[in-house]
A and B are shown apart, each in its own frame.
Chain A
Amino acid sequence: MSNPFRTEDHGHIDRGTTLSFVFDGVTYTGHPGDTLASALLANGVHTVATGIKYGRPRGIMAAGVEEPNALVQIEAPFPEPMLTATTVELYDGLVARGLGGQGRLSDQPDPARYDTMHAPCDVLVVGAGPAGLSAALTAARSGARVVLVDELPMPGGSLLSGRQTLDGAAATAWATAVTDELAACPDVTVLSRTTAFGHYDDGLVLALEKRTDHLGAAAPAHVSRQRIWRIRARQVVYATGAYERPVAFDNNDRPGIMLAGSARTYLGRFGVVAGRRAVVFTTNDSAYHAVLDLADAGVRIAAVVDARESVPARLLAACAERGIEVRTGHVVTGTSGIERISRAHVARFGHDGLGERQGVDCDLLLVSGGWNPAVALFSQAGGALAYDPEAGAFVPAGALPTVRTAGAARGTTSLAGCLADGVDAVTQALSALDRSVTPAPSPAAAAAPPAAPGRVLWRVPSPQDGPDGSHQFVDLQRDALVTDVFRATGAGLRSVEHVKRYTTIGTAHDQGRTSGVLTSGIVAEALGVDIAELGTTRFRPPAVPVAFAAFAGRNRGELFDPVRVTALHPWHVEHGALFEDVGQWKRPWYYPREGETMDEAVLRECRAAREGVAMMDGSTLGKINVQGPDAGVLLDRLYTNLMSTLKPGRIRYGVMCGVDGMAMDDGTVIRVAEEEFFLTTTTGNAARVLEWMEEWLQTEWPELRVHLTSVTEHWVTIPLVGPRSREVLALVAPELDVSNDAFPFMSWRDTTVAGAAARVCRISFSGELAYEINVPAWDGIAVWRALYAAGAPFGLTTYGTETMHVLRAEKAYPIIGQDTDGTVTPQDLGMSWVVSKKKADFVGKRSFARPENQRADRKELVALLPADERRLLPEGAQIIATSTVPAPPVPMLGHVTSSYRSDALGGTFALALVRSGTRRIGETLYVALDGETVPVTVSEPVLYDKEGARRDG
């Protein structure tokens, strides 16, 4: 199958290879080098989508990322919504369809890989057109570390669209030669198919490389499909080119209406003529390149409609030579056609307004309203823009210390000018880096006569009756009309930012590349203000659509967030533990036996700990070694109780508060030696507590001679719990006198456990006789196994975090961060005993005396016993005083913080923070749930072994 609109010899496509694809159910062919858009045009397909609001047929208007219309949904090989046909490289087997705005995400997981690469460099050059290539070449020859990125699959940029020569040969040959030289430099990275989309702080530019998209189903699965480059550049040169600007006129959205430069690109780069009979509507010289190229390729140019009164004689002569009529001082006022343009309406447009309309038959209408430099990234970087009244465009007002523009991106139009621009910009960049410059000599470009001034024209007045400009589209993707802009200004909006949000102009995937400046111009005219003062809307990243998958990169699946595991983790996995995520840690939750429910497993584990012996993996506890002559002084200042009086060999429980007096963390403190302590923190707060302690030490009390060292992962910590724990420990620690007298509660001993050097602490987080056995992490599994074996005759049971919670809650040991929320003092927790009366000061002490913290109606920790002992209260549930929920505002007394089933208590129970809780003990309150209230009795928080009789076994 041949392409009816393909020329014989133009373009950078491989005519020797044919690719087959399906669009809207019809099979077509194209060639490598095509985009989906160029392949469709080669087959004569213009109508590819429908407008999102009015459902009008829409065609292909541009040839690159500025395309507002041609949104497609890829269906195969893998569904992907909302791509522009102009940026999808054609591959064999592509199946796509046109979209009316929204697309469809796949309901299947994306099998492709995505990744990230850091690339530090001296100079980043964005754009491999004439300016970018000459900039990169000079930077490379000067010995700089260079990254050159370009969105196209081949170098050349605008050179690919035309027939320019450099040094007497095709300019694209120069582009290839330069790129080859660059690629051979060890300090240069050349990235094609790569679009810089965001300029962030300190020279960080993010770029999206489409690595295998163009291979379709043939893409190798092990290669990342797309890659985000994190380019950290000391200097950046944006040689990003320019986007052609349309002019608004009636029915300017019909398929077959295309930007003039884009039609030239379809011919020059793809060997595709976009129509047979074209009308060209322009306000400037640039469209004549398209006129002449298309005419020479056999397209009948029915008329050139030039809004200017005066057109350079050489252009008129070139047209005359080809028999092309040029109507100066004329405009296109509107179009006719159903699925495709069939006629352009042309009228004279002088000082006295529009003249009489005349129809010119055509199947293609090319439009050029001038060119907007591609300044989005420069603007993101903080670069100022200035309005150039001759070009009708916003151009960079000057360079930034580390960011520069070159070529069409800074408003330069001639090829020779762009080449020189690139060298100039990079010379300044290298000089700013104090580097010597070896300028690459520019190739000789054909002399270009100076361009004649263009006519700045935003819109053609509507000759229609009724509301002015009834079908003049500004943003074709958002289906926003000139009348929508007028409605916005009529509503009193004066800022283009507000007009943008009112009309949604510029908010689509194309980021207003064809509509933004047009909108500013139309708003300025409507308000009678100077567009230079009005400005444009702000540019923000990403400048092109980027898939979330690309941003995520390899941080998916098991790499989504670091999974931290203890040294005992393999044993837990082997023994069927289910795991709970605690921050980044995987902790055993419970160890179900065959056929056991979670409730059953937890009750069994609890019973073992209360009646026999059980052990768990407590290694995730934060552990900090505190050493130095002033270690006791530091701890006295940070804990609410006295630590300096602790004797070596002894252990004390401690609470840390913030300066606001609120409990921040708790744990145990061991005095290892006169000048050495070892403290534990809660699992989730380990890093934060160390940072907090370092902050006080380094910034407030640098005179204290103390060093803090995290040893969290040096130790494996195994709580061995239950009335029979002493017997088990005795078996594996033969050197240790485990008797209560020799080894009392809240003391520790260094000994050998199962052959490993161990520090055993008599600490209990359950109220039972218990030991915490600490061994170097690499000995952990061996010691755990030895304990497991030694405990077997005693029915030793491993337990997880759920059982730990039940056991500690039965004893009302709070979990900081679960039973507290940053508004709870130690006194509120019923722990006045942990607050020293002797110390003159410690962090937070002064706050306890604040009236707010002295109120009688503070929320206090209590236990709740549901009237129905089978009823498990949801954590977070609110507590009220009445059995029916009163009319709002409902007086809330507090909330449930912890809630469990208890084997020891024979029913459910909860901990709660309740207003004046300790004075309500014995009262009945109600927990408000959806559609009901549950009666509960307020109780003393400690529900099990209130006398503490069990801790010594």
Chain B
Amino acid sequence: MQLIECPWCGAREEAEFHYGGQAHIAHPEDPHALDDEQWAQYVFFRDNPKGPFAERWTHAAGCRRWFNAVRDTVTHEFLAVYRVGDPLPPAVRTVLATRTVPGAQPRQGQEATP
């Protein structure tokens, strides 16, 4: 039972959390401006890296807040947790692979790359 550091409640057992998939994939501003291929990329395709990965989590059994985390998919170690809207912590910025979803604009402050 891994511990996950909720940005508000501190370390809690992983059973209190739900996973929300890859972080920093913003809903496209205008989905109808995208062609089918681009839209399908947004809906169906996500990264699956071996190593650090930015993810969304929610402290479902605690404060109900969604937050972001960078987790190493090899070791499961959480390299950083940060609140929605906060930029990627500098320490993990360089280790994250970059990715662009067609049409999906990173929200301000949530850029996946420096």
A846-B65 CB under 8 A given contacts A201-B1, A660-B43, A699-B56: no
Give per-residue flags for A195-208: 1 if the beta carbon is below 8 A from chain B beta carbons, else 0: 00000111010000
Most buried by B among A202, A230, A843, A851: A202
Q: Among the interface residues B31, B58, B64, B85, which one has the most CB atoms of the partner chain A within 10 A?
A: B31
The answer to whether B36 touches A850 (Cβ under 8 A) is: yes
Interface string of A165-208 (1 = CB under 8 A from B): 00000000000000000000000000000000000111010000
In B10-64, the 8 Å CB interface with A consists of 11, 18, 20, 26-27, 30-32, 34, 36, 39-40, 42-44, 56, 58, 60, 64
Check: A296 CB closer than 8 A to any chain B CB.
Answer: no
A627 → chain B, closest Cβ, in Å? Answer: 16
Question: In whole Å, how far is B78's beta carbon from the nearest beta carbon of chain A?
Answer: 10
Task: Give the number of chain A interface residues (Cβ < 8 Å).
Answer: 24
B43 touches A698 (CB 8 A): no
| CB-based nearest A residue for B1 | A204
Once bound together, how far apart are the Cα atoms of A695 and B26, in whole Å?
A: 12
What's the Cα separation between A86 and B5 when bound, in Å? 43
- Which of B3, B11, B20, B42 touches A659 (beta carbons < 8 Å)? B42
Indicate if the CB atoms of B31 and A691 lie closer than 8 Å: no
A695-B58, A698-B66, A846-B31 in contact; A201/B42 too (CB < 8 A)? Answer: no
Tell me which of B26, B34, B36 has the highest count of chain A C-beta atoms within 10 A of its own C-beta.
Answer: B36
Give chain B nearest CB distance to A546 CB in angstroms.
Answer: 16
Given known A-B contacts A200-B1, A201-B2, A700-B26, A851 and B36 have beta carbons under 8 A apart = yes
A843 to B64, CA, bound (A): 22
Cβ of A401 to closest chain B Cβ, rounded Å: 12
Nearest Cβ in chain B — how far from A459, in angstroms? 38
Verify A694–B66 contact, CB threshold 8 A: yes
Once bound together, how far apart are the Cα atoms of A491 and B65, in whole Å? 55
Q: Which A residues lie within 8 Å of B26 (CB)?
A: 700
| CB 8 Å contact bits of B66-96 with A (1 = contact, 0 = none) | 1000000000100000001100000000000
**A483 interface residue, CB < 8 Å from B?**
no
Q: Is the CB of A847 within 8 A of B39?
A: yes
Contacts A847-B43, A850-B39 given: A202-B64 contact, CB under 8 Å? no
A845 vs B31: C-alpha distance when bound (angstroms): 9
Question: Which residues of B are found within 8 Å of A204, using beta-carbon distances?
Answer: 1
Q: Is there contact, CB below 8 Å, between A702 and B85?
A: yes
Q: A201-B3, A201-B76 are in contact. Are A698 and B65 (CB under 8 A)?
A: yes
Annotate A692-723 by CB proximity to B: 1 below 8 A, 0 otherwise. 00110011101000000000000000000000
Report yes or no: B32 in contact with A691, Cβ–Cβ below 8 A: no
Complex partner residue of A695 from B2, B42, B66, CB under 8 angstroms? B66
Residues from chain B with Cβ under 8 Å of A846 in the complex: 31-32, 34, 39
> Does A841 count as interface, using CB distance less than 8 angstroms?
yes
- Measured CB to CB, the closest approach of chain A to B83, in angstroms, equals 10
Q: Which residues of A contact B56 (CB under 8 A)?
A: 695, 699
**Does B58 contact A691, Cβ atoms closer than 8 Å?**
yes
Whether the pair B18, A691 counts as a contact (CB closer than 8 A) is yes
- Known pairs A200-B1, A850-B36, A851-B36; A695 contacts B85 (CB<8 A): no
Give the interface size class of chain B.
Answer: 20 to 34
Bound Cα distance from A743 to B83, whole angstroms: 47
Q: Which residues does chain B contribute within 8 Å of A200, judged by CB atoms?
A: 1-2
- Which residues of B lie under 8 Å from residue A698 when comparing CB positions? 65-66, 84
Most buried by B among A200, A204, A659, A687: A659
Inter-subunit contact A695/B20 (CB<8 Å): yes
Chain A residue at smallest Cβ distance from B75: A382
CB-nearest residue of chain B to A203: B3
Complex Cα gap A687–B64 (Å): 11
Min CB–CB distance A840 → chain B (angstroms): 8
A699 touches B31 (CB 8 A): no
Chain A's closest residue to B68 (CB) is A699
Give Cα A536 to B65, complex, Å. Answer: 44
Chain A nearest CB: distance from B111 CB in Å? 15
Docked CA distance A687–B20 (Å) = 14
B64 close to A700 (CB less than 8 A) = no
Contact residues in B for A201 (Cβ distance below 8 Å): 1-3, 76
Residue of A nearest to B78 (CB): A202
Bound-state Cα–Cα, A698 to B34, Å: 25
Min CB gap B72→A, angstroms: 13
Which parts of A811-866 form the interface with B (CB within 8 Å)? 840-841, 843, 845-847, 849-851
Rounded to whole Å, the gap between the CB of B29 and the closest CB of chain A is 10
Determine whether the beta carbon of B66 is less than 8 Å from that of A699: yes
Identity of the chain B residue whose Cβ is nearest the Cβ of A201 in the assembled complex: B2
- Least CB separation from B21: chain A residue: A695
Roughly how many angstroms separate A226 CA and B31 CA in the complex, as a whole number?
58
Q: Interface 1/0s, chain A 431-466, versus B by CB < 8 A? A: 000000000000000000000000000000000000
- In the bound assembly, the distance between CA atoms of A661 and B7 in angstroms comes to 33
**Cα A695 to Cα B2 with chains together (Å):** 23
Give the docked Cα–Cα distance between A699 and B84 (Å).
Answer: 6
Chain A nearest CB, measured from B28 CB (Å): 8
Contact call B66/A850, Cβ cutoff below 8 A: no
Given contacts A200-B1, A698-B84, contact A841 B31 (CB under 8 A): yes
Q: Which residue of A lies closest to B83 (CB)?
A: A698
Residue of A nearest to B18 (CB): A691
Q: CA–CA, A202 to B107, complex, Å? A: 33
Give Cα A774–Cα B9 distance, bound, in whole angstroms: 34
Chain A 662-700 per-residue mask, 1 if CB under 8 angstroms from chain B, else 0: 000000000000000000000000010001001100111
Give CA–CA (A725, B60) in the complex, Å.
40
Contacts of A843 in B (CB 8 A): 27
A694 touches B58 (CB 8 A): yes
CB distance from A4 to the nearest CB of B (A): 50
Task: Output the least CB separation between A279 and chain B (Å).
Answer: 50
> B1 contacts which chain A residues (CB < 8 A)?
200-202, 204, 230
Listed residue (A659, A702, A846) with the most chain B CB atoms within 10 angstroms of its CB? A846
The complex places the Cα of A204 from the Cα of B31 at a distance, in Å, of 46
CB contacts (< 8 Å) of B39 on chain A: these are: 846-847, 850
- Is A659 a contact partner of B58 (Cβ separation < 8 A)? no
Bound CA span A660–B43, Å: 6
Chain A residues lying within 8 Å of B60, measured Cβ to Cβ, are 687, 691
Contact A659:B85 (CB < 8 A) given known A201-B1, A202-B3, A691-B58: no
Distance of A700 Cα from B27 Cα, bound (Å): 7
What CA separation (Å) do A846 and B64 show in the bound complex?
29
B84 touches A702 (CB 8 A): yes
- Residues in A neighbouring B27, C-beta threshold 8 A: 659, 700, 843
Distance in angstroms between the alpha carbons of A850 and B3 in the assembled complex:
41
- A699 and B30 CA atoms in complex are apart in Å by 17
Assembly CA distance A683 to B91 (angstroms): 43
Is the CB–CB distance between A202 and B2 below 8 Å?
A: yes
What is the minimal beta-carbon distance from B14 to any residue of chain A, in angstroms? 8
A230, B20: Cα distance in complex, Å: 28
From B76, which residue of chain A is reached at the shortest CB distance? A201
CB neighbours of B76 from chain A (8 A): 201
Q: A691: which B residues are within 8 A, CB to CB? A: 18, 58, 60, 64
The chain A residue sitting closest to B11, CB to CB, is: A202
Closest to A843 in B: B27
User: Do B40 and A694 touch (CB < 8 A)?
Assistant: no
Q: How far is the CB of B77 from chain A (nearest CB, A)?
A: 9
A-B contact list, 16 entries, CB within 8 Å: A201-B3, A202-B2, A204-B1, A660-B43, A687-B60, A691-B58, A691-B60, A694-B58, A695-B66, A699-B56, A702-B85, A841-B31, A847-B39, A849-B36, A850-B36, A850-B40
Q: Which B positions have Cβ atoms within 8 angstroms of A?
A: 1-3, 11, 18, 20, 26-27, 30-32, 34, 36, 39-40, 42-44, 56, 58, 60, 64-66, 76, 84-85, 107
Question: 19 other contacts beyond A695-B66, A699-B66, with CB at 8 A cut-off?
Answer: A200-B2, A201-B1, A202-B1, A202-B2, A202-B3, A204-B1, A659-B27, A660-B43, A660-B44, A695-B20, A695-B56, A698-B84, A700-B26, A700-B27, A702-B84, A846-B32, A846-B34, A847-B39, A849-B36
The 9 closest A-B pairs by CB, nearest first: A846-B31, A201-B2, A202-B3, A698-B66, A699-B84, A659-B43, A699-B66, A660-B43, A204-B1
